[in-house]
Structure 1
Amino acid sequence: MTDPALALTDVELALDGNAGRVEILHGVSLTVARGETLGMVGPSGSGKSSLLMLMGGLEQATGGTITALGQRLDTMDEDALARFRRDHMGVVFQSFHLIPTMTALENVATPLELAGDADAFDKARAELVAVGLEGRAGHYPSQMSGGEQQRVALARAAAPRPDILLADEPTGNLDETNGSAIVDLLFSLRDRHGATLVMVTHAPALARLCDRVVTMRDGRLETQAAAA
């Protein structure tokens, strides 16, 4: 594969807990092409979310190499990782992670402001329009439904036009109607910005929308297949 968006080789992850050292990931190797949409499935505790966090530089691997857009994430310090995420990645979590003291508009504008974008609020407003929340720009997270909060989170992730979009169970806290709407928005944002999308999901129907699906089990990559 020429110039992949993500390349992981023999990745290991072990964490120290009260009961001692816990092995989370065991020699995972995976490559994601630029522009590809990859779904990650598997039972709870299989390592899906941990692998996604490594891809985003939100956890440090204890072994192996992780390359994103030609840059080695596993050798970067925290400041370099934060800059890389700011410039190249958008992350969407199951639990929204909005700043409660900021309005929807301010939440979406924050990553743009941190990047020094002089048009941060204009671009943030345009992203809220794209997710159908132009009328909620001045509302705080506590004044919005779960579906609306996830739309704001999507707008915030997409606003900097990331090369890589990572989504960890983006519909996990939503009912079926809101979840379906978020899926449609996620894929439309991917198409609009041309991003590579990697998504962890428990929903088989959602995984089938991806170009390729990988299955995790017991911290290992079990299967890889084109989506049905």
Structure 2
Amino acid sequence: MTDPALVLEDARLSLEGNAGKVDILRGISLNVPAGQTLGLVGPSGSGKSSLLMLMGGLERATGGRVQALGHDLGAMDEDALARFRRDRMGVVFQSFHLIPTMTALENVATPLELAGHRDAFARAAAELEAVGLSHRAGHYPAQLSGGEQQRVALARAAAPRPAILLADEPTGNLDEANGAAIMDLLFGLRDQYGATLVLVTHSARLASRCDRVVRLRDGRIEDTESREAAQ
């Protein structure tokens, strides 16, 4: 039996605001097996993106525990977390976060270079080809459409072959055709490399492709449904 990719035990997140403490996540316990695709759904403000940030160590839990691949994220300092994400995780955001002064090829190759891969540019070129953008490798983000920019972001996240791939509304800024293409690419990466895939989405179509769907409301898990149970 393989170890779970992600384990959350009574994970909580509170932030200080002008009006005092705001409870964002109110005791999340969740076990995500390696290789599973998990969809996080719920109304705006339910805590979906915050939960994804906890899983990636981009936010620190203010209570409880978050483990990724057997590592306690709360016990790591910022440098250790950054190295862990670089080597073991891929993160795809709705807003792409590409570096505007770098070409598509450079955007994908830079994290590989930082990780010490000598074949960074060759691997980056292969990843761009895999997402159908080899002909756009020399273009800058401003010269690419939204769908193309998201594919570059996905290639960048996938290039290190992460064990965990986290995606926050990856199709939210795209039209239906481009959104469908990104969905196929995400699940293709899971199938090809066996990565654990966690998606925040408002798309019922995207959620329906996941092995399991967790619905959040007011910072708590409201219900969980497996795809097998839904069929």
The question of a shared fold, defined as TM-score above 0.5 by the shorter chain, is answered with: yes
Indicate if the aligned counterparts of 2:2 and 2:34 stay in contact, CA closer than 8 A: no
Q: What's the TM-score, normalizing by structure 2?
A: 0.97
1:167 corresponds to = 167
Q: Is it true that 1:135 corresponds to 2:121 in the alignment? A: no
Offset at 1:168?
0.4
Paired with 1:222 and 1:108, the residues of 2 have a C-alpha distance of 37
Which amino acid in structure 1 is aligned with residue 50 of structure 2? S
Q: Which amino acid aligns with 2:40?
A: M
Which structure 2 residues correspond to residues 101-180 of structure 1 after superposition, within 5 A? 101-180=101-180
1-structure distance, mates of 2:97, 2:103: 13
Q: Which residue of 2 aligns with 1:9?
A: 9
Structure 2 unaligned residues grouped into runs of 5+: none
Q: Aligned to 2:178, what secondary structure does the other structure show?
A: helix
Other-structure match for 1:210: 210
Percentage identity across paired residues of the two chains = 76
Deviations 1:150-186 (A, max 9, x none): 0000000000000000000000000111101110111
Deviation at residue 17 of structure 1 after TM alignment = 1.4
Query: Hey, what's the Cα distance between the residues in 2 that align with 1:192 and 1:129?
Result: 15
2:50 matched to 1:50? yes
Say how many residue pairs are matched.
228
Q: Which runs of 4+ in 1 moved over 4 A?
A: none
Match of 1:214, SS state, is strand
Counterpart Cα distance in 1 of 2:215 and 2:92: 20
User: Does 1:19 find its partner at 2:19?
Assistant: yes
Matches within 5 A, 1:37-76: 37-76=37-76
Q: Which amino acid aligns with 1:155?
A: A
Deviation at 1:2, TM superposition (A): 4.7
Q: What is the CA–CA distance in structure 1 between the aligned matches of 2:2 and 2:224, rounded to whole Å?
A: 19
The whole-number CA distance in structure 1 between the counterparts of 2:121 and 2:63 is 41
**CA distance, structure 2, for counterparts of residue 128 and residue 88 of structure 1:** 20
Give the conservation status (yes or no) of the 8 Å contact 2:13–2:26: yes
CA distance in structure 2 between the aligned counterparts of 1:15 and 1:109, rounded to whole angstroms: 35
Question: In structure 2, what residue type is equivalent to 1:77?
Answer: D
